[in-house]
Amino acid sequence: MKIQINTQVSSSTFLRVIPFLEKEEISFSASNGVSVNVKSPIFSGKKDSFYVLEAEKEMVLLVGLGKDPEYKSIENSFRKVLHKHDHLIDQSILLEFPEGFDENFLEPALVGLFLGDYHLDFFKKERKNNFEELEVHIKLAHKNAEKLVQRAEKIANAKKEAFRLVDLPPNNLTPEYLAEWAVEMAGKYSLKSEVISGIDAKDKGLEAFLAGGRGSAKEPKFIILEYRHPEAKTHLGLVGKGVTFDTGGLNIKTQGMHHMKSDMGGAAAVLGATQVIADLKIPINLTTIVPAVENAVDKDAYLPSEIIASHAGLSIEVVDTDAEGRLILADGLSYLIETYKPDQVIDMATLTGSAVGTFGYECAALFSNDSKLSETIQNAGKGIGEKTWPLPIWEEYAKEMDSEIADIRNYHGKPIAGAITAAKFLQAFTHEHPSWAHLDIAGVAFADTDFAKTKSGTAFGVGLLLKFIENQL
C-alpha cells in the first residue's frame, strides 16, 4: 500500500470509505458539496454493517460501527473493507473520518484497514490481491495524523507476522525457520539475538527443552531476543511456547492433530509483540525467549515414565508426552529469570484444552502470583479487545503435581483443573519470582474468524502486550 495523508485524490477511480456510529439518519457531503442523506432501515450504522452507493458519480462504502464500539470490533470492520469488498476497489481508496470522529476509534480503524490485505493463500497458484500498488488516501483532521497512521501501520505489520507464523504449515514453519525469522527480525530492528541448540543447550542445562523435541528430525532451537532502550525504567521478560507441530509424542493425539501447527501461538504472540515494541521504540527493556521444538515420534522420542532434568535443577517425571509445552516453558522461564532477572515475567502458551473447556473461544485463562500484575493485564486486554480472566493458583493444586520418584510430574492425569495444574507446574520453575503471569491462550490464538474458511491465527497477545506495557509507562 502507498499511504498518503490529507492529500488530494488525483485518481478519478477511487472508493470513498466513511465510517459512522449508529444513528437514525446518516449524512455526508459528496466531493462537489452536495449533501447526501441515508435513512434507516437502509443504513443506520449498526455494528458490522456496510452499504454501497453511488453519490454524485462517486462510489461510496459506508461502514457501520454500532453505538459504542470496542477496539476489536472496529478493527474487524475496517479489515473487511479490503478483505470483503476488494471487488469495489480499482486504483485507490479514500478513507475519510467524519468531523468529531472519536479519537479512540482511529487506531483500531487504521490497524484494521492495514490488516485487510492478509490472506491464507500462501501456496495457491493464483493469489488474491495483496494491494501492493493500492493508493490509500486518508483524510484525518488530527494534529498528529501522520504519527497515528505510522503507529497503526507498525502494529498491523506485527500482527500480520503473527498471523503468518501461526498459519504457515509445519513443513515450512520449523524450529529452524522460527529461529531464522527471529534473527532476521532482530537485525531489522536493532535487537540482540542468540539461538542455542544442540550440545550448547545441553551444557546450559536445558534438558526439559531438549526432551520436548527429541523425537523430531528437526533440531530444537532456543531463541533469545534482547531489546534495550536508553530511557527504560523497567525490564519485562516474555516467554512464548514454540511447539511448531505437536503430534502428542508417544501419547499420540487421537483428534484435532490437523490444527497442531498452531501450537506455537504463544511464540507468535511474543515475537510479534517484540517486533512492534522495537519498531515503535517503546522505552522499556525487553527480553524474549522462545523455546522452539517439534513434538514428534521416532526411536529417540521421550517416554512416558521417563525422568528428565531441567534448567532449574528439578527432576521431572513424564506422565504424558503430550504435556511437552510446559516442559519447554519450564526451561524458558527458568533461564530467563536466572540469566536476565527481569522485573516482570509473562509467558504465553496454547497450553491446555482445559482453558478452552472453561472459557470457550472468548478469552484467555490468566494465572498470576501478583494481583497488581494480573489486574494490569486484565485492563490492557479490555482496552484492546483481547480479554483475559483470572483463575486461582492456590497451593492446594500444587499437590496434584507431586511425584514419588521425582521432584515434580508434568501431568496429574486427571480430567479436572487441567489449566490450573499446568500453571502450578510452571510456577515451580519461576524461582519464586514475585511478579509472574501465565496466559493460556489455547482457545484464542487460533480460531474461526470472518477472514478465512478455516481456523487461522488471530495474533492474540500482540496488542495486549503492547497495551500492557504502554499503560505502565
Measured CA to CA, the distance from residue 469 to residue 466 in angstroms comes to 5
- DSSP per-residue letters across 329-380: HHHHHHHHHHHH--SEEEEEE---HHHHHHHTTS-EEEEES-HHHHHHHHHH
Say if residue 304 is preceded by a cis peptide, omega within 30 of 0: no
Ramachandran region of residue 467, left (φ > 0), alpha (ψ -120 to 50) or beta?
Answer: alpha
- Which residues on neighbouring strands pair with residue 19, listed in sequence order? 63
From the list 47, 253, 382, 455, the catalytic residue is: 253
In 3D space, the residue among 223, 208, 168 whose CA is nearest the CA of residue 308 turns out to be 208
- Residue 448 is placed in which grid cell? 474461526
375 phi and psi, to 5 degrees? -65, -40
State yes or no: is 453 an active-site residue: no
What CA–CA distance (Å, rounded) separates 305 from 320? 8
24 φ, ψ (degrees, to nearest 5): -65, -40
The β-bridge relationship of strands 285-295 and 221-227 is: antiparallel
Q: Which of 326, 387, 409, 467 is catalytic?
A: 326
CA dist., res. 138 & res. 149, Å (int): 9
Strands 192-196 and 235-240: unpaired
CA distance 11 to 225: 44
Question: CB of 286 within 8 A of CB of 346?
Answer: no
Residue 164 falls in the annotated catalytic set: no
Please give the Cα distance from 241 to 291 (Å, whole number). 6
Task: Say which amino acid occupies 28.
Answer: F
Query: Catalytic amino acids?
Result: 253, 326
